[in-house]
Structure 1
Amino acid sequence: MKSQTTTSLLANVAPLLFVLLWSTGFIGARYGLPHIEPFTFLSIRFVLVLILLGALTIMFRQPWLRQPVAYGHSAIVGVLLHSGYLGGVFFAIDGGMPAGLTALIVSLQPVLTALFSQWTLGEQITARQWLGLALGLVGVTAVVGDKLLFTDTPVVTPITLAGAIVALLSTTAGTLYQKRFGVGLPLLSGTWAQYLGALALTAPLALLFETHEIEWRPELIGSLLWLTLVLSIGAILLLMVLIRARSAARVSSLFYLVPPATAVEAWLLFGERLGLLAIIGLVVASIGVALVVVTPPSKAKSGRHRV
């Protein structure tokens, strides 16, 4: 009985913890990007993650990937989830696109994932879940719209818009690919291989297209440490666990809560405006995610609790 209670608690806490951790990524980017170029930032971050994850793999005596095909699958996930998603987001924000608008574009990911998961993974999306996905999108639009209405005219160029779209498509494809090919791989060494693949893309981009000028300010160092330890290790490992245990659509719906959570954090940390429309959007998005994620009582009794 105690074991069931603990499992149920983990099932409820894990998604909320992931949203909280993931939402701090935009806050960290705001602190760090003024002092470093995006692909240089990501390359340094990935090197630190590789060192730390490698040490954790050895410390906990976890098995390393043995087959080249396993490295290949993990590297593809890394290129999509880390290089493609983060690179696109950082590139768009660094080019002047507001973080809120970037988040709105990327927040289309749950809908795309639900659509493609039916074709690629054979997952069944219920009417209740489609309603939740629609409400989530409405809620995110309200939160971001509240911020954009009371800020300067957004800086949107074809190249920054392309960066945000690359991030959207990459995170969608990465989630589906991980669910299809990465579920059976060791967690630590599989994630280590993901970052190796990610670094193989961002490092050449940084070397070829950036100046490598870095201002080692406390804001940059703090941002780098936070994004490395909390996001690239803590949140990503938690995401891998959630993808293993849940459907791709259910996991992706959690990303609807990221922009609202970020808006609340920006209000607390920077005093940014949090208007009535944003608060309403937060409530609507939360209801939408609940419709997708929470199992109805009739089905919960017949199924097992999963993280």
Structure 2
Amino acid sequence: MGRQVGVLGQVATALAAAAFVGSWSSGFVIAKVATVDVAPLTLLVWRFVPVAVGLLVVTLATGAARAVPHADLRRQAVIGLFAQLGYVVLVYAAIAAGVATGTTALIDAVQPLVVATLVGPLLGLRVRGAQWAGLAVGAVGVLLVVRSQLGGSQAPAAAYLLPLAAMACLVAATFLERRSPARPPVLVVLTVQVVVTAAALLVAAAVAGELAPPADGAFWVATALAAVFPTLVAYGLYWWLLRRIGVTALNALLFLVAPATAAAGAVGLGESLTAVTVVGFELCAAGVAVVLAVEARAARAAAPAPAPVNAAAQPAPPRTGPRTRS
């Protein structure tokens, strides 16, 4: 029975990882399509505000945050300012400035190396030699995937600092989360982060005069897709997988976001897809497979040995010492 549960858990984790890569990648494509005629800030406001209201209602109705200390809620609010507000605003700004979707995802995909080299030692995480090799192979794959997009970009040089800053925001959020002494439920985490992000976006959009949405059905379709997939699904799975497989394995999965984004861009946006891109896909997959395999092997080695099946049935040894009254 335990073996069956373990297999089901591995299947669930694999499906969650695939859904995470797909939903995270969708955010780049939706941003590219939806911000052609609409200011990025307008789309972001209406992407987050309805989700914030819905999450707040569900959280209050279920009482999920009742037992969470206020200090943990404040900590999640700070994490949300980095992980959601800072990250999505900078990604949308980069794409609106003309940086290709695959190139934006490429710069964000550098995060695993930053986490491994800078954040990992601060958290006391050990990155094994085989994992370093896997991360390096994945990095090469990412570079190959988006190489053709770099040449055709019309974005100014300064625009490439925007996805770099977005990546730094996500690294900071990951670091703060791993240093947190408590782990609130994922529903509470999402609610706090989305509510804080929505409030900040409302203020920014009102000040910039970009709060009013357009009367276009396509805008609301894009907003709904952005609310469901890159907001609810992607971020929910990010924090869930972070707890289940660890920061090294999760950040290895981010290497797959750039190839997935480039593939979606080729199919839906007409961006280039060459034989070099396919080779990059294969290298990314190989690098991620190495990192995940090493992480799984280390987890099995660290797991405590199961107790003998008949241990509970063994009679207690006879007492030979003197009896004392309590």
Same fold (TM over 0.5): yes
In structure 1, C-alpha distance between the alignment counterparts of 2:181 and 2:111, rounded to whole Å: 19
Partner of 1:247: 246
**Alpha-carbon distance in structure 2 between the residues aligned to 1:171 and 1:65:** 27
Number of aligned pairs? 301
Kept in 2: contact 1:37–1:210 (CA 8 A): no
Please say if 1:291 is aligned against 2:293. no
Q: After superposition, where does 1:98-137 map in structure 2 within 5 Å?
A: 98-137=100-139
1:238 alignment counterpart: 237
Q: What is the DSSP-based 3-state SS (H/G/I as helix, E as strand, rest coil) of the residue aligned with 1:216?
A: coil
Aligned residues of 1:91 and 1:163 also touching (Cα < 8 A): yes
The within-5 A match list for 1:27-106 is: 27-58=29-60, 60-64=62-66, 66-106=68-108
Tell which structure's C-alpha radius of gyration is larger: 2
Aligned partners of 1:229, 1:215: CA distance in 2, in Å? 20
Aligned partner of 1:219 in structure 2 is 218
Does the aligned pair in 2 maintain the 1:36–1:213 contact within 8 Å?
A: no
* Alignment-derived partner of residue 177 in structure 2: 178
In structure 2, what residue type is equivalent to 1:28? I
Conservation of the 8 A alpha-carbon contact between 2:110 and 2:139: yes
Return 5+ residue gaps in structure 2 as ranges.
304-326
Q: 1:162: Cα distance to partner?
A: 3.1
Q: Tell me the residue number matched to 1:275.
A: 274
Q: Which residue of structure 2 aligns with residue 154 of structure 1?
A: 154
Deviations 1:190-212 (CA, angstroms, capped at 9, x unpaired): 21111122234333332333544
- Mapped partners of 1:202, 1:166: distance in 2: 18
Secondary structure of the residue that 2:94 maps to in structure 1?
helix
Native 8 Å contact 2:32 2:96 kept in 1:
no
Does 1 or 2 have the higher relative contact order (CA < 8 Å, sep 6+)?
Answer: 1
Q: Name which of structure 1's ranges 12-21 and 58-67 shifts more when overlaid on structure 2.
A: 58-67
Partner secondary structure for residue 75 of structure 1 = helix
The alignment's TM-score, normalised by the length of structure 1, stands at 0.89
- Counterparts of 1:220 and 1:111, CA distance in 2: 36
Moved more, 185-194 or 275-284: 185-194
Distance 1:90 1:275, change over 3 A: same
Once the two structures are superposed, what CA deviation does each residue of 1:22-52 show, in whole Å capped at 9, x if it has no partner? 1111111122112322223222222111122
Deviation at residue 70 of structure 1 after TM alignment: 1.4
> What is the TM-score with the length of structure 2 in the denominator?
0.84
Q: 1:101 to 1:154 in 2, by over 3 A?
A: farther
Q: Deviations over 1:108-128 (max 9, x none)?
A: 111111123323210000111
Change beyond 3 A, Cα 1:71–1:242: same
User: Structure 2 vs 1, CA of residues 155 and 113 (structure 1 numbering), >3 Å: closer, same or farther?
Assistant: same
- What's the CA shift for 1:130? 0.9
Q: For the aligned residues, what is the CA RMSD? A: 2.2
